[in-house]
């Protein structure tokens, strides 16, 4: 059973603590959301490309075969010790992500923005060792400045692999984390949180993993990083659609966006996060730092 901390204050006992992504829909829904957001947006061209990238991720995910999970004993050990079973810090990542990368590049290459062409061709001739090093850089959160332009593509391929891995797990056998900011599957940080408006999870808040697309239940009006529930403030851009807000915490100086599905049924934490960069600027200026990165924006100054 979920721990006390993670049991939502609701009479419905069957509310999932952890929601694994739907491999048939996750990247396709994201692509459609990017398409919609790209219309009449000052960053429209870039968002439209992100839509094509998400579609390529969808294709690569459909073509990827199941990856090898840790054995049952290791999974159980992770559960008992409340450790993410596929922690990117220790889990040896299967090399299939590099095939996904090749496929993604192939799919987006033809209509990639001018500025990205060179990055794509560089990636195509990067050795396997070179690619693994780039992946390590991205996941350690300490990227080399010269490699920044290549990292969003590396991230896109790793998202495909870790989404494939996540959906092979049994959500009811995953450990709720002591730290609410940590993904219970891969140990990464949330890209944003979302107040769901669909079915049994209505009005519940879920944090959305920046890497594997797993969502875990998180209490509302509580800082995910430090647990404070008193020094919080909500920020929004005056006059916008109210879909994205930032919840800042003065105790730890972090902020996490909240995406409201009630305002639009088709929101996606990754896409709506990228479309609301103006909100990041506002909150950054007020002195707060993002609680977790958007891996597709590493290198574009969004981290």
The residues binding Zn ion (CB under 5 A) are 183, 185-186, 188, 209, 211-212, 214, 223, 225-226, 228, 249, 251-252
Strand partners, 249: 232, 254
Query: Minimum distance between the CB of residue 193 and Zn ion, rounded to whole angstroms?
Result: 13
| Nearest one of 265, 261, 238, 259 to 247, comparing CA atoms | 259
Which residue number, 212 or 275, has a Cβ lying nearer to Zn ion?
212
- E strands, 166-230, are 190-195, 205-209, 215-217
Which residue number, 124 or 233, has a Cβ lying nearer to Zn ion?
233
Query: Minimum distance between the CB of residue 182 and Zn ion, rounded to whole angstroms?
Result: 9
Quickly count: other Cβ atoms within 10 Å of residue 84's Cβ.
23
Residues 244/258, Cβ–Cβ less than 8 Å: yes
Query: Minimum distance between the CB of residue 220 and Zn ion, rounded to whole angstroms?
Result: 14
Instruction: Give the position of tokens 């994205």.
Output: 244
Which residue number, 209 or 271, has a Cβ lying nearer to Zn ion?
209
State the DSSP code for 18: E
Residues near 153 by beta carbon (within 8 Å), at least 6 away in sequence = 101, 104, 105, 119, 120, 123
Query: Minimum distance between the CB of residue 75 and Zn ion, rounded to whole angstroms?
Result: 15
3-state secondary structure of 16: coil
Which residue number, 38 or 246, has a Cβ lying nearer to Zn ion?
246
Query: Minimum distance between the CB of residue 156 and Zn ion, rounded to whole angstroms?
Result: 15
How far is 245 from 280, CA to CA, in rounded Å? 10
Which residue number, 47 or 256, has a Cβ lying nearer to Zn ion?
256
Which residue number, 75 or 183, has a Cβ lying nearer to Zn ion?
183
Residues 216/183, Cβ–Cβ less than 8 Å: yes
What helix, strand, coil percent values describe the chain, rounded to 5? 45, 10, 45
Query: Minimum distance between the CB of residue 158 and Zn ion, rounded to whole angstroms?
Result: 11
Query: Minimum distance between the CB of residue 291 and Zn ion, rounded to whole angstroms?
Result: 8
Instruction: Give the position of tokens 């009005």.
Output: 203
Which residue number, 187 or 299, has a Cβ lying nearer to Zn ion?
187
């Amino acid at each position: 059973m979920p721990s006390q901390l993670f049991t939502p204050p609701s009479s419905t006992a069957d509310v999932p603590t952890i929601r694994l992504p739907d491999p048939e829909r996750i990247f396709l829904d994201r692509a459609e959301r990017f398409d919609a957001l790209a219309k009449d947006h000052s960053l429209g061209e870039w968002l439209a490309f992100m839509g094509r990238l998400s579609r390529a991720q969808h294709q690569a995910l459909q073509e990827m075969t199941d990856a090898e999970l840790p054995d049952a004993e290791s999974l159980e050990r992770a559960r008992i010790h409340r450790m993410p079973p596929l922690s990117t810090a220790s889990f040896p990542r299967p090399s299939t992500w590099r095939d996904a990368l090749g496929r993604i590049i192939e799919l987006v290459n033809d209509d990639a923005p001018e500025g990205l062409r060179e990055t794509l061709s560089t990636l195509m001739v990067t050795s396997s060792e070179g690619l693994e090093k780039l992946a390590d850089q991205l996941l350690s959160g300490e990227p080399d400045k010269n490699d920044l332009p290549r990292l969003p593509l590396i991230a896109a391929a790793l998202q495909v692999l870790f989404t494939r891995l996540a959906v092979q797990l049994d959500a009811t056998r995953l450990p709720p984390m002591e730290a609410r900011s940590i993904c219970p599957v891969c140990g990464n940080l949330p890209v944003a949180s979302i107040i769901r408006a669909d079915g049994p999870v209505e009005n519940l808040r879920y944090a959305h993993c920046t890497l594997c697309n797993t969502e875990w239940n998180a209490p509302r009006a509580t800082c995910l990083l430090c647990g404070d529930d008193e020094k919080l403030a909500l920020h929004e851009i005056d006059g916008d659609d109210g879909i994205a807000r930032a919840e800042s915490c003065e105790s730890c100086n972090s902020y996490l966006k909240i995406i409201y599905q009630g305002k639009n049924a088709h929101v996606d934490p990754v896409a709506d996060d990228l479309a609301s960069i103006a909100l990041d600027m506002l909150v950054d200026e007020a002195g707060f730092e993002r609680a977790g990165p958007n891996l597709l924006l590493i290198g574009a100054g969004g981290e």
